[in-house]
Chain A
Amino acid sequence: MAKLRNKTAGILNFSDYKKWYFKLFYVLLILILLFIVFISVVPPLWVLISGFKEPSELFSPKFSFFPEHFKFSKLLSAWNRLNVGKYYLNSVIVVAGSVASAVLFNGLMAYVISVLKPFGHKIIYVLLLMTMMIPAITNMKTLLGNIVKLGLMQSYLPLWLSYGANVFYVVLFKTYFDSIPQPLIEAARLDGASSWQIFTKIIFPLSLPIAMVVSIFTVNASWSDFLLPFLVITDPDKQTLMVRIYRVNMNPPSGMTQDQILLLIGLSIIPVLILFGIFQRQITDSVATTGIKE
C-alpha cells in the first residue's frame, strides 16, 4: 500500500486513495488485470502441458488440465518420431537468412532515405509506404509465378529475401536514423568521409539497438511465417516447422494422434517464448514507442 501512498501519476493519485472506495476500485483493477493475464497465458500453457497427455485423456469428456503421468520420455520419442529436429533446423536456416536480409536491405534503404536523401527519395518513401496496405496474399499468385520462372522453387532464397522488402522495418530504421544528430554527420562529411564511411563509422555503430529490435521482430515473424514457405517449399524434407504443423493438422498422417499435434505446436511456441523471455523489455518498449506490433 506504500506504493499507493506515493502515487502521483495517472488519473487517480495518493490523495484519492485515502478514500476507501478508491482503494476498493484499485483492488478491482488488479483483479481485472489478473483475469486478462489468466486468459492470455493459460491457453498456450494448456497446449504445452497437454502434449504430454495420452490420446485417451484428450478424448475424455472429463476435463483435466494436467496429464495423469508426466513422462519426459514422451517428448523425446515424439521428437524423434516426428523428425522435429529436421524441421527445427529448416526453420532456423530460414530465420537466420531472413534476419540478415531484413537488417541489411531495410537498413540501407532507410539510411539512404533518412541521411543521404538523394534526388527522388521522397517519392520512393511514399511508394514504400503504399506497400503497407497491400496484403501479401493479393500478390502471391503472380509472385509465385515469377519465382517459378526464376527457377527458385524449393530454395530458401526467396524466403530470405522477402524480409528485405518490409516497409515496417524501413520505417523503424528511418525513425531511428532521423534521431541521429545531423551535426555529427555534417562534421564527418566536412572531414572528408564518404557516404560509405559515414555509414560504417557513424550510423552502423549507433544503430545497433534498432538493428537488434528489427532482428527480434524478424526472428518472430520469420519463425511464424506460413504462406510463402508453404507455397515455395513443397519438398517435405525442406519444410519449416510451421508449414509442417499446418500440413499435419489438415491431413494427419496415419498413426499421428492429437497429442502429437499438440506437442508440435508446443515445440513451435517454445523458441519464441525463450526469445521473448530474454528480450521482453526491448520488444515491449519498441512496440510502445513505434506503434509497430511485429
Chain B
Amino acid sequence: MRETMQKIRLKVWKFLKKNAMGWAIMLPGLVLFAFYIWIPLFQNISLSFFETAGTAKVKFVGLEQYQILFQSRDFIQALGNTFEYTLWSMIIGFLLPIIIALILNEVVHLRGLFRTLIYFPNIVPGIAVAIMWMFLFDPNSYGVLNSLFKTHHLWLNNEKTVIPLIVFTLTWKGAGATSLIYLANLQTIDKVYYEAARLEGASAWQRFRHVTLPHLKGQIKMLLIVQIISVFQVFYEPLVMTKGGGPNGASSTLVQLIYQIAFVEGNAGKAAALSVIVALLLFMLTGFYFYFGKERRKHVGKIAK
C-alpha cells in the first residue's frame, strides 16, 4: 500500500517536473489571452441573457435580447448588408489577387519593384485609408473624382453604390498583399511540369488550365474562406466613411452595429447578444476553413509522396 502511494507520488513529482516549467513560461501569455479574449467572450455570452445597465446585469430575460434583435429593422438590414458586402467582395476582390499573382509570376522586368509597390497599400493605416477615400469620393463638385472626371456622382451617398465602393477600398488595401501569398505558391511549381506539358503539345492556355490551376486550387479555397471571414468584420469603413453606416443604414454591417449598440446606445446586453450571433456565424465559416485546410494538407501530402 505504502509502496503504491510512493509510486504515485513519484509519478506526480515526475509529471510536475516535466511540465511545470512549460506552464510557468506560458502563464503570462495565457493570462493575457484570458483577459483580452476568453473572459470577455464568456462574460458576453452570459450578458446576452440579461437586461443591463452599463455592463452590470439587472434582470435575467432569457432569449429576449435575441428576440428583440431578430425583430429589429437595423439588425435585418445589417445582416443583409453583410451578405451584400460578401457578394461584392467575391465579385471585386476575389479574382483580382489571383490575376495579379499570375501576371507577377510571368513578368521578368522590374519584378521586385512591382511586388513592393503592389503591396504598399496594405501598410497604410486603416483610418487613413478610409478618410482618404472619403476625400476621393466626395459627392460635391469639388470632390477629387468628381472634379477630375467632371461628374456629379453621389458615390458613398448613393444607397446603391455605397457597398461596392467600400468593397473597392477594401480591395485596394488588401489585394496586393493577398496576391503575394498566391505568388509564393505559384513559384513553387517546378518548371519541369510546364516543360513536360509543352513537349506533349499543350498550348499556353492548356498549361495554365492543367498545371497552374490544379496547383492553386487548395489555396484558392482557403483564401476564399479567409476573405469571407474578413469581410464579416468590416468595421472602420462604415464607421468612418459613411459616419456609421449611412446613407439610411445602407452600408451598416453587423460588427459596426455591435459598436453602435454597445457604445452609442450603451445597451451592453443587446450588443452582447449580437456579438454571440456574429461569433456563431464566424464559427461556422471557420469550420469550413479548417475543413478545407485539412483537405489541402492531404493534397500536398499526396504530391510529396
Contacts and interface: CB of A to CB of B under 8 A. Distances in A.
A112 B105 contact: no
The size bracket of the interface on B is 35 or more
Nearest to B282: A133
A139 interface: yes
Interface string A264-294: 0100110011011000100110011101011
Interface string A138-170: 111111111000000000000001101101001
A142 to B, nearest CB: 4
B236 interface: yes
A99 to B, nearest CB: 15
A14 B176 CA distance: 27
B191 A29 contact: no
B37 A131 contact: yes
Given A143-B40, A288-B184, A137 B255 contact: yes
A146 B40 contact: yes
B4 interface: no
A165 B123 contact: no
Given A143-B40, A195-B22, A44 B240 contact: no
A40 B120 contact: yes
Contacts of A258: 135
Residue of B128, B236, B263 with most partner-chain A CB within 10 A: B128
A37 B126 contact: no
A147 to B, nearest CB: 9
A62 B100 contact: no
Interface stretch (B87-95, B136-144, B159-167): B136-144
A224 interface: yes
A183 interface: no
B6 interface: no
The size bracket of the interface on A is 35 or more
Contacts of B38: 127, 131
Interface stretch (B61-69, B70-78, B106-114, B297-305): B106-114
B39 A138 contact: no
B64 to A, nearest CB: 18
B132 A135 contact: no
Contacts of A141: 44, 55, 262-263, 268, 271-272
B208 interface: yes
A93 interface: no
Nearest to A224: B125
Contact of B147 (A60, A265, A283): A60
Contact of A10 (B105, B233, B235): B105
A139 B37 contact: yes
Interface string B234-259: 01100010010000000000010011
B195 to A, nearest CB: 8
B1 interface: no
A288 B183 contact: yes
A47 interface: yes
A174 B107 CA distance: 34
A138 B187 CA distance: 38
A89 B175 CA distance: 32
7 closest cross-chain pairs (CB), A and B: A118-B22, A224-B125, A145-B55, A288-B184, A109-B29, A138-B275, A139-B40
Interface of A: 3-4, 7-13, 15-16, 22, 26, 29-30, 32-33, 36-37, 39-41, 43-44, 46-47, 50, 58-63, 105-106, 108-109, 111-113, 116-121, 124, 127-128, 130-135, 137-146, 161-162, 164-165, 167, 170, 194-196, 199, 220, 223-224, 226-227, 231, 242, 245-246, 249-250, 258, 261-262, 265, 268-269, 272-273, 275-276, 280, 283-284, 287-289, 291, 293-294
23 contacts: A11-B106, A11-B208, A12-B106, A22-B204, A36-B118, A43-B133, A44-B132, A108-B29, A112-B23, A113-B26, A116-B21, A131-B38, A133-B229, A135-B282, A137-B259, A138-B258, A140-B40, A142-B43, A145-B55, A164-B28, A272-B124, A283-B119, A291-B181
